[in-house]
Amino acid sequence: MRATRTDIQIMAASMASVAAMLLCFSVRSTTKTFPDLPGWDPPAARAMAVWERAVDINTAGLEELMALPGIGEVRAQAILDDREEHGPYRYPEDLIRVEGIGEGILFGILDLITTGGERDAQDLGSR
């Protein structure tokens, strides 16, 4: 069986794609990650610095709550209003009771929030 011109072009394109992928993987494995580069301050790295500690939803103010992803001024104010009306949150998942915060928003911030720790949660349970 003899290869046609089209077959040769397809094989050449495939080989070029594989070579490009191998080059990318080899370069990727030998370069520093962006945060390690001097003077590099990408938005993602700045955002990670904000979350060095979890936001306590029982003590946070409007601006601190607004710094959470998906929480704008309206939702932040709703959290404050709900906290004032119903008392502090025992668990971070209790935010689901706030109008405008569904499972999607909650899932996006769950690792970024706290209710003040286990001791505070026990204290709340005795009230």
Q: Residue 6 class from Cβ within 10 Å (0-12 exposed, 13-18 middle, 19+ buried)? A: exposed
Domain housing 4: 1-31
52 and 87 belong to one structural domain = yes
Instruction: Give 19-77 pLDDT, tens digit per residue.
Output: 777 665 565 555 445 455 555 555 444 455 444 678 999 999 999 999 999 999 999 99
CATH number at residue 62: 1.10.150.320
63-75 per-position pLDDT tens digit = 999 999 999 999 9
In a domain, 81, yes or no: yes
| 6/67 same-domain check | no
* Residue 37 resides in a domain: no
Number of domains in the chain: 2
- On whether residue 38 sits in a domain, the answer given is no
Sequence-separated (6 or more) residues with CB below 8 Å from residue 87? 124, 127
In a domain, 90, yes or no: yes
- Residue 100's nearest CA partner among 125, 127, 70 is 70
pTM: 0.54
